Amino acid sequence: MDFELPAELVEIQRTVRAFCEAEVRPHAAAWDASETFPREVVAKLGAMGLLGITVPERYGGAGMGALAVAVVVEEVARFDGSLALTVASHNGLGTGHIARFGTDAQKERYLPSLATGERLAAWALTEPGSGSDASAMRTTAVRRGDAWALSGSKTFITQGTVGGSFVVLARTDPGRRHHGITAFILEPGMSGFTQRPIHGKLGMRSSDTAQLFLDEVEVPDAQRLGEVDHGFIDTLQILDRGRITIGALAVGLGRGALEEARAYAKERQAFGKPIAEFQAIGFMLADMATELDAARLLVRRAAALCDAGEPFGTAASMAKLYASEAAMRATSRAIQIHGGYGYTRDFPVERHFRDAKLTEIGEGTSEVQRMVISREILR
């Protein structure tokens, strides 16, 4: 399959790169240090159409596919992993779930404002006691006439305090695991629904992350998203797509580290010459470039399969697994090339290293990806 980008995506890539050079690169370190969510820049991304990439045109989106999301997320991640995570999660999780499984009325109500970034989407699956084993969730939804009462808690929710639409998964049939979970759309301000920010993260520090608490939150049945007891099955499709974008995010972080390390190695002098001329440094750069190119190809293969309507779950897991681990190797080598300076916050590679770790955890850990891949191999 040919992975040369269409001209339209090449132009989008250039536009995003220029925007990030001007609007993101000068501020990313400060946002990270202060854990500040960059609302103004996120709003500009929305105005550029980058928060509605896959939303159908009839709802104000670009109507593009997984490959377009991957291209945009990689470009943003090269400069700021936190901002790239906002773009990835908004497009792929909350907005994606409504776009794929919402009713016509739900799409009309939510997608136009999600596509422009006027409203940000959050997606609430993970709980304090259920991460990789997501179907073990304890949040419940009990039907009461034409409404549901939701009770429980969620954690590590991206856009958790800045979101305007929350897709929340809850157990509707206690007797079943995978086939007893339903999705609902919640909004801030609902009685009994509160959010608490999570601070002090290792990386992705300017991405908004929160705990959600639900105390008998009354949700009309019209806000149920998808069929009753079918929410987890729908979620698996959302996660497969999300793994493509996390893979792209990892490639972007690794690429940023490579480009910073290459520039530093050509400038830094040791023993009378640039350290780039030492074979040990050159070989590290060569390994970084090779692995990141391979990761990008895996990500784009999975995205192309997704856009073509072909099975892509295993390809997405392979892409996410390899790209995330390649990003950790690349960012670690970038710090090594910078030496002591790489261990300080004076250079971006330290931030890239911290941000990259999340890509081995979010959207399914590396261990979960190996489970998915091995099951397919052994089938």
Query: pLDDT by residue (tens digit) across 30-60?
Result: 999 999 999 999 999 999 999 999 999 999 9
Rounded Cα distance between 255 and 257, Å, is 5
Stretch 344-372: mean pLDDT: 97
- Are 243 and 320 within 8 A, CB to CB? yes
pLDDT at position 68: 98
Stretch 358-368: mean pLDDT: 96
- Are 369 and 359 within 8 A, CB to CB? no
For 11-29, the pLDDT digits (tens) are: 999 999 999 999 999 999 9
pLDDT, averaged across the chain: 97
Element (H, E) at 224: strand 224-225
* Domain spanning 7-120, CATH class: mainly alpha
Out of 173-187, 286-300, 329-343, which region has the weakest mean confidence (pLDDT)?
Answer: 173-187
Residue 279, token pair as written in the block:
């074979």
pLDDT at position 1: 42
For 96-142, the pLDDT digits (tens) are: 999 999 999 999 999 999 999 999 999 999 999 998 888 899 999 99
Q: Residue 175: pLDDT band by 50, 70, 90 thresholds? A: confident
Q: Given the structure tokens 């629904």, which residue do they identify?
A: 193
pLDDT at position 135: 83
pLDDT at position 2: 47
Q: Residue 178: pLDDT band by 50, 70, 90 thresholds? A: confident
Question: Of the CATH numbers 3.90.1580.10, 2.40.110.10, 3.40.50.800, 1.10.3720.10, which one belongs to the domain with range 122-231?
Answer: 2.40.110.10
CATH code of 232-378, in short, is 1.20.140.10
Distances (CA, A) of 30 to 84, 250, 321: 16, 21, 30
- Are 106 and 98 within 8 A, CB to CB? yes
Question: Which residues have a catalytic role annotated?
Answer: 363
Element (H, E) at 54: none
Q: How many Cβ atoms sit within 10 Å of the Cβ of residue 32?
A: 23
Q: Three-class SS of residue 177? A: coil
Stretch 297-307: mean pLDDT: 98
Q: Residue 78: pLDDT band by 50, 70, 90 thresholds? A: very high
Residue 239, token pair as written in the block:
């996660």
Q: Which residue has the higher pLDDT, 134 or 217?
A: 217
Domain extents for the chain? Answer: 7-120, 122-231, 232-378
pLDDT exceeds 60 at position 264: yes
pLDDT at position 3: 67
